[in-house]
Each structure stands twice: as C-alpha cells, then as structure tokens.
Amino acid sequence: MTITTVTTQPIAGQKPGTSGLRKKTAVFMGPHYLENFVQAIFDVVGAEGKCFVLGGDGRYFNDRAAQVILRMAAANGAARVIVGKGAILSTPAASHLIRLNQTDGGIIMSASHNPGGPDEDFGVKFNMPNGGPAPEGVTEAMYQRTTTLTEYRMLEAQDVDLSVVGRTHLAGMVVDVVDPVADYAALMESLFDFAAIRAMFVGGFRMRMDSMCAVTGPYAVEILERRLGAAAGTCVNAVPLPDFGGLHPDPNPTWAKGLMDEMFSADAPDFGAASDGDGDRNMVVGRGIYVSPSDSLAVLAANAHLAPGYRVGLKGVARSMPTSAAVDRVAEALGIASYETPTGWKFFGNLLDAGRATICGEESFGTGSDHVREKDGLWAVLLWLNILAVRRESVAAVLSGHWGRFGRNYYSRHDFEAIATDKADAMMAALRASLPDLAGKVVEGLTIAGADDFAYTDPVDGSVSQAQGVRILFQDGSRIVLRLSGTGTEGATLRLYLERYAAGPMGLDLDPQEALAGVIRAAHALAGIERFAGRTAPDVVT
Ligand code: G1P
Ligand code: ZN
C-alpha cells in the first residue's frame, strides 16, 4: 500500500476550544479540513510507533471520519489503533480504554450535546495518555501547527471493516476492533454495588433511562437491563442514530422534555435519567422532582462512600467556578479539600492525577470521578442508583434530607444564544471595566460585596488561566457569574449563572426562579443584557 503526501495549505480557524475542534459537519467534510487537523494532532503528539484509541458518538460522518483517521494514523507510522466496533465509543469509555491499555492517547469524534447531521455539528478532540482532554498548551500547539502545515500523509487503502470485533491490519498498523461496551461495563461493575441495585430492581423499582438516540444506548441496555435486571423498555431512545433522531441530545429539562414530562406524570417511575450525544453528561430526575446538577454533585459527594469504589472516602472534591457552592459545604463537613476551577473538564485532570480530588462536577450536567478523566453520564446514574439502593429512600427524600443538613443553594443558569459576537464582546468588556467600582453598590436591594474576573492558578503545575468569567458576590452570599460560551458554533452564547444560599429548615422548598428573582434582576441591571444584546429573556433555563 502506498503512502501519499498530499499538498495542502493552512485552513483558517482550526482552533480547538474547551472540548476540541467543533464545527459544522459540512465544514469538516470540506476539502482537507479533517485531514489538516488530524495531521496537526499527529505532528504535535507524534505518531511513529504509537498506540491510540479511536471512536466517536456515532453522529453523521463519524464512520467516514474514522476511516480517514485510521488511514492517516497508518501513514504517520502509528503501531496500533484500538477502535470501537462501528467506530463507536462514548467519551468516558474512550477515556477508560486509553488508560486501561496504557496507550499514547486517543482521538474522539464528537460534538458532544450539539445536534448531529449533515447540517449540524461535528467535532474532533485529542485525549492524552491519562485519558483526559489535551491541556491548553497542547491544543494551542495543534492550532499553531494548522496555521503552518503544507502537507499531510495518507495511506491509499480501502476501508477497514469496523463491523466485526477482532484484529486486522492496515499496512503495518494493527487495528484492534473492540466491543465498545465490555470494558466500560466491567469498570462500572467494579465501582458499584450491582447486587444491591439488582435487588432494588427486583423489588419493583422502576426507572426510565433516556439515551436521546445517542451513544449511551448500547451501554445503558447492557448495564441497566442485562446486568442489573431493570425491566425491558427501561432504556428509551436507546439506538444511536446519525442525526440523533432529530433530537438535540443535551440532557436538560428543555431538551429532554419527554423525560421531564414522564417524571412529573401520574404514573412516573421512581427514577429518571438522560445522557448526551457522547455520553459524558447526565441529568437526574426523581418522581416529581428535578435534581439540579450542582445539587447532584453535592449529594453524590456526601453519599459516595455507600458505593464500594468509594468506600474509603474521597480525597477531595472539585467543581467548576460557575457550579454552585453546594458541594463545598459537603467537603467542609467531610473535612476534605474542595477546589474551584475554570469551566471545562480538562481543569480537573491535574487534580485527579495528583490524587487531590476524587469526585468533580460542573453545573452543565457533568459529573465524574477519578475512574476516568472525562465526565461520565452513566457513572453518575449508577452512583445515584447505588445510593438509592442502599439508603432505600426516594430521590425527593434524599434531596430534602441533604438540604436540611447542609442548607440549599438555589441555583439556575440562563443562556442567551446566538448573540452577535461584537455585541456580546462589548457587553462583557463594559462589565469587566465596571468591576473595580462595584463593591458597596446596592442593586435591586442587594449589596455587592466584591467582583472580579476569575483567574485560576493550577495547584499542581502552577499554570495560570486568566479571564475565566466575571463573578459578582453579594453580601447575603448570593452570586452572579457571567461568561461567554467556548463551545457554541453560532455567534456568541452568554451564560448567566445565578445562586442564592438558604440555610435551615425554612425556605427550602421554593421554586428556584422565584427564589432567585432579585438576583436575576440585579444581573440584568449590572450587565445591561437588553441594552447590549437586545435580550430580556433567556433561550434556555436550567
Ligand atoms: C459547556 C459547559 C461546560 C462544559 C463544556 C463541555 O461549555 O458550560 O461546563 O465543560 O460545555 O461539555 P461552554 O459552552 O459554557 O464554554
Ligand atoms: Zn458530551
């Protein structure tokens, strides 16, 4: 087989964001686009003699992109690629395979929770040998490489048959096609009390797991229905489709409305959950009660010791800055460290690697632990099931018990989507400029205690990340955070995070939007969202 060196030229804007390079599918399918970025990856990390994991969430173009990446890996001298059957791997399963096989990293094809299809989104990201997303220094080097490269290497060969598990070869490179589910399911079985969960299902516990026609379908069916004995039909939307069946595979109350309706209906099951396109996000719902991701993180941290994998206790916890401080209160009670990092899972990697944190989470429906180096949707679902099985309580009882003990951090995120980029930038610039004068000001009856633009110094490697989001703290402990999304593909998305703490047995049962009404008004007044962006109401509320 021949290796061709294809002459190309740099393509503008191949800059990976917080979760790799994410663009419209048509852009990825354009001439040399995927190839240039993949060559930049191999040029930066080196491919000669190396072993990589490859898989994706099954969205449109996943199969063909996998064949291109395999041919390029072979042309660049890689020794071996471990690829999920059908080029399928959930992001957490890919992270696990990278670690389990002690590989040199992996390429994950996904645009996470963004819709898929010819007119929707596609993405490629590189994960390091520790199983976690490449850090900023590495993605920046990849980007720099895309601005200068003039050729890429491609093997001339037919497609590899990825439909059968087993070993094949592509020129000199070994291709190991593996069952995408098996090793991941075994890992879950090692962490959780499957016997207790099975007994709960045998006892009549009912669940609805909505995979949103995305990658976790096969994982959920194998683990929940086959291994844990949940009733057939527990898993819905369980067949991954290239366009996710037209769904927006983002597990939140807006996009997983079908699940929400079911969980608030008269015949609601005991427990509901959903996961996103690539399986790293999760939403958890009890019968008639929604669990905010920040509360979920806090409950999981407070109860993790009930699962065998965490019996010895947690080394520490970490949350992204915009995530509510609920988990900090748990850490305080447990006497363990808590860390506040910038948005994006990659900031947890060093803390997990260094053994400083065991469980981490983000308000954006991401929770996970040191078992992999990605957030993990099904992991969170299984830890919840384990907790419910041991405590023999409903989700509602677990939550109210938690709030009674720790107080409640009322929390909500308001997203304003597809704002013209220049308007969003002007708004953030004006807000940033106003920060030094905010302390002491009274807005909507709330006194500002302080304000800053969050900067993070990594406690492990000392690296500094500036300008990670504006924080405005009020004297009563309420908080507003504003930042622009780093993952959107259309204009700018403003994320407004709102939080208010209520302690004691009183005032724990308010509707979050009601509890936060004053904080919401203060945020609009301070940021001028209407003045700059012409928006008075958010597009998505979580
Ligand atoms: C969003 C979430 C963030 C998460 C990221 C990747 O990023 O807010 O917590 O890590 O997706 O799933 P954003 O669009 O806000 O930059
Ligand atoms: Zn995702």
For residue 490, what pLDDT is reported?
Answer: 79
CA-nearest residue for atom 15, ligand 1, is 485
Beta strands in 75-142 (DSSP E): 80-88, 106-109, 121-127
Has residue 182 got a pLDDT over 90? Answer: yes
Q: What atom of ligand 1 comes closest to residue 17's alpha carbon?
A: 16
Q: Do residues 207 and 233 share a domain? A: yes
Q: Do residues 201 and 277 share a domain? A: yes
Distance CA 260, CA 208 (A): 10
Q: Note whether 411 and 499 are within 8 A (CB).
A: yes
Structural domain that includes position 151: 2-179
Question: What are the structure tokens assigned to 10, written together?
Answer: 């740099």
Has residue 30 got a pLDDT over 80? Answer: yes
CA-nearest residue for atom 1, ligand 1, is 487
User: Where among 406, 429, 456 does a domain terminate?
Assistant: 406
Q: Assess whether the C-beta atom of 19 lies below 6 angstroms from ligand 1.
A: yes
Q: What is the DSSP string of 337-380?
A: EEEEE-SSTHHHHHHHHTTS-SEEEETTTEEEETTSSS--HHHH
State the average pLDDT over residues 9-15.
93
Phi, psi (rounded to 5 degrees) for 509: -115, 25
Distance CA 161, CA 370 (A): 34
Distance CA 106, CA 223 (A): 24
pLDDT tens digit string along 337-387? 999 999 988 899 999 999 999 999 999 999 999 999 999 999 999 999 999
Q: What angle do CA 107, 108, 111 make, to 5 degrees?
A: 140
User: Where among 343, 376, 406 does a domain terminate?
Assistant: 406
Distance CA 356, CA 316 (A): 6
Q: Assess whether the C-beta atom of 362 lies below 6 angstroms from ligand 1.
A: yes
Nearest to 224 by CA among 245, 250, 206, 244: 206
State the average pLDDT over residues 416-438.
96
User: Where among 123, 148, 179 does a domain terminate?
Assistant: 179
One-letter identity of residue 90 = S
Has residue 488 got a pLDDT over 90? Answer: no
How many beta carbons lie within 10 A of that of residue 204, not counting itself? 8
For residue 91, what pLDDT is reported?
Answer: 98
Sign of the alpha-carbon torsion through 34, 36, 42, 47: positive
Has residue 413 got a pLDDT over 80? Answer: yes
Q: Which of 340, 367, 487 to mutate to test the pocket of ligand 1 (most atoms within 8 A of CB)?
A: 487
| Nearest ligand (C-alpha, residue 362) | 1
| Nearest ligand (C-alpha, residue 469) | 1
Q: Do residues 367 and 255 share a domain? A: yes
Question: What are the structure tokens assigned to 118, written together?
Answer: 């010819």
pLDDT tens digit string along 92-123? 999 999 999 999 999 999 999 999 999 999 99
Q: Do residues 210 and 359 share a domain? A: yes
Q: Do residues 294 and 391 share a domain? A: yes
Q: Do residues 103 and 195 share a domain? A: no
Q: Assess whether the C-beta atom of 303 lies below 6 angstroms from ligand 1.
A: no
Has residue 509 got a pLDDT over 90? Answer: no
Distance CA 115, CA 527 (A): 30
For residue 505, what pLDDT is reported?
Answer: 56
Q: Do residues 355 and 208 share a domain? A: yes
Kindly indicate the confidence band of residue 17, based on its pLDDT and cuts at 50, 70 and 90: confident
Which long-range CB contacts under 8 A does 194-199 form with residues at least 24 apart? 194/227, 194/228, 196/386, 196/389, 196/390, 197/228, 197/382, 197/385, 197/386, 197/389, 198/227, 198/228, 198/229, 199/389
CA distances from 266 to 36, 269, 284 (A): 53, 9, 18
Residue 505 vs residue 6, higher pLDDT? 6
Write the DSSP symbol of residue 42: H
pLDDT tens digit string along 290-335? 999 999 999 999 999 999 999 999 999 999 999 999 999 999 999 9
Q: Do residues 432 and 532 share a domain? A: yes
Has residue 510 got a pLDDT over 90? Answer: no
Find the CATH number of the domain harbouring 496.
Answer: 3.30.310.50
State the average pLDDT over residues 219-242.
97
What percent of the chain is modeled with pLDDT above 90?
94
What percent of the chain is modeled with pLDDT above 70?
99
Has residue 15 got a pLDDT over 90? Answer: yes
For residue 504, what pLDDT is reported?
Answer: 65
Q: Assess whether the C-beta atom of 90 lies below 6 angstroms from ligand 1.
A: no
Find the CATH number of the domain harbouring 111.
Answer: 3.40.120.10
Distance CA 151, CA 502 (A): 59
Distance CA 379, CA 192 (A): 9
State the average pLDDT over residues 421-450.
96
Please name every residue paired with 175 in a beta bridge, in sequence order, or none if there are none: 81, 168
CA distances from 162 to 78, 178, 246, 384, 437 (A): 18, 9, 25, 34, 60
Q: Do residues 160 and 195 share a domain? A: no
Q: Do residues 448 and 353 share a domain? A: no
Q: Which of 428, 485, 496, 540 to mutate to test the pocket of ligand 1 (most atoms within 8 A of CB)?
A: 485
- 110, 112, 324, 338: the catalytic one is 112
Q: Do residues 174 and 191 share a domain? A: no
**Region of poorest pLDDT, from 193-207, 238-252, 392-406, 480-494:** 480-494
State the average pLDDT over residues 272-299.
97
Cα-to-centroid distance, 377 and ligand 1 (Å): 15
State the average pLDDT over residues 266-275.
98
Q: Do residues 307 and 189 share a domain? A: yes
User: How many structural domains comprise the chain?
Assistant: 3
Q: Which of 139, 343, 367 to mutate to test the pocket of ligand 1 (most atoms within 8 A of CB)?
A: 343
Kindly indicate the confidence band of residue 506, based on its pLDDT and cuts at 50, 70 and 90: low
112 is catalytic: yes
